[in-house]
Structure 1
């Protein structure tokens, strides 16, 4: 079993190396201000955001206001590694990039590295892989992307998300309805206003497990997958990004990232056995 002491001790070497790197000329920002890494070390505060209704990534208890989810667990462990207080705000998948660009947050876990996003922010190494899938209404059984790419097919997505970009690019003939949130796009399927919702598989499995009446999960062929990464505000000094990359790779190697993902999947009733054949984390 991997202990937190083991994680903290070995990853501490990476922190020391990153702190040393922050003293190099590259740490000086073009505008003369301090880098993200320097600010976190000075203030002892790590700013991030979470998305409501996105279990097992993020989940907000409406009664207590407390957040949970595997990305909450990961960023909490990251803050502990930095000996920093975690400051958590709420956002949406579509607004997370804007929050990074405007320097409202220091990091956001759960972004797919699309080319459009890569124009304006930086990404970490992958935390895990995630296939694009659909929540299809009952009786609708598409097997391929071609079957979905027809003028009579109605698709819902949450605006600005990676699934919105994928549906726009791969299903140009379909009718695409864009909603503010994932939950609204899911409700459109349940209400019969659309035939299917484009959603990454982890979120699709969770939504169907929570409400089986909404439909069923379909992973059309060929399988198109993306990775789930952390995003950063683009800046000249890459110390912050490089440190997080080291932290992620180290904790993936020890199995900590995988254990956190599986634990939170189990909390929403999902196990690896629920994955379609040939699909893994």
Structure 2
């Protein structure tokens, strides 16, 4: 009998403990409140999506300062994104140095040839990648044989021009010790420095070197099919917003497979 009473007390104590745990769990869920709203919900409620873009990185994004007109592959893609959401598009100019800071402050997401980096990924989410790229030189064609390798480029007296705040500057600062790094603040006019002979070359993404070489026959892209590095392009999203990330990834997957992306890219990339 004593043994039975002892077992009964143990069982009762166990049930009481389970009830207490369950009660605490319920209280915790109530205290947590509703889940935070996604930017996607805010965009739909507002009827507007704000997209940050630098406007200085052809063929992905370009803002004409004289006319205020935007153009580029990712500008067209931003328009398609807004159309499929059923909202109006507002493009917000940013810079490479303030890109991540402006995300969530002045815009809902960022588009425009943005390279995937681990540093940015600590502060923001990325969409799925839509393009493979990498750093490679572009120079005047008469100098093509001189600047094929990093060893040839990183020599005293060689002038490599870069735009501040992005992955081009990061690459130059990391890999060029002896060459002179010329920092030019305007990426829209930076290739004029090479054309005019004020810089010997620029190291940038292979996609940009191909585009610039098509616009300027005096410039030659160095081995764009075998760049120095591997990188990818993707769209930058607020950190932690899985709902928005899922929607953008689904939209991008459709656009990459129904001909939408190719239709926008073909006029710029050939």
Relative to the length of structure 2, the TM-score reads: 0.77
Contact 2:53 2:91 in 1 (8 A): yes
Displacement of 1:124: 0.9
Aligned CA distance change for structure 1 residues 46 and 178 (closer, same or farther; 3 Å)? same
Matched, 1:133 2:140: no
Tell me if 1:193 matches 2:185: no
- Match of residue 183 from structure 1: 188
Q: Partner of 2:105 in structure 1?
A: 103
The reply on whether 1:250 has 2:254 as its aligned counterpart is yes
How many Å separate the matches in 2 of 1:120 and 1:135? 31
Structure-1 residue corresponding to 2:11: none
Larger C-alpha radius of gyration, 1 or 2?
Answer: 2
Question: What is residue 122 of structure 1 aligned with on the other side?
Answer: 125
For 1:251-278, what per-residue CA distance to the aligned partner results, in whole angstroms no more than 9, with x for missing partners? Answer: 2122322232113x1xxxx52xxxxxxx
Q: Distance in 2 between matches of 1:253 and 1:204?
A: 26
Q: Which of 187, 208, 221 in structure 1 is aligned with 2:213? A: 208
Question: Given the superposition, is the C-alpha separation of residues 257 and 222 from structure 1 closer, same or farther in structure 2, using an over 3 Å criterion?
Answer: closer
Unaligned runs of 5+ in 2: 1-31
Unmatched runs of 5 consecutive residues or more in structure 1: 1-24, 272-281
- Please tell me whether the aligned partners of residues 135 and 227 of structure 2 are also in contact (alpha carbons under 8 angstroms): no
User: Number of residue pairs matched?
Assistant: 235
Which of residues 146, 152, 164 in structure 2 aligns to 1:147?
152
RMSD (CA atoms): 2.4
Aligned: 1:260 with 2:264: yes
Deviation, structure 1 residue 126: 0.7
Whether 1:234 aligns to 2:239 is yes
Q: Distance in 1 between matches of 2:43 and 2:148?
A: 48
State whether residues 92 and 181 of structure 1, in contact with CA within 8 Å, keep that contact through their aligned partners in structure 2. no
Normalising by structure 1, what TM-score? 0.75
What whole-Å deviation, never above 9, does each CA across 1:184-234 have from its counterpart, x for those lacking one? 432322232221111212222222332334x32113766423111100121
Instruction: Tell me by how many angstroms 1:63 deviates.
Output: 5.3
How far is 1:98 from its partner?
2.3
Displacement of 1:183 after TM fit?
3.0
SS in 1 for 2:134: strand
Could you tell me which of 31, 35, 38 is aligned with 1:28?
35
SS at match of 2:96: coil
- What is the alpha-carbon distance in structure 2 between the residues aligned to residue 261 and residue 95 of structure 1? 26
Query: CA distance change for structure 1 residues 40 and 199 in 2, over 3 Å: closer, same or farther?
Result: same
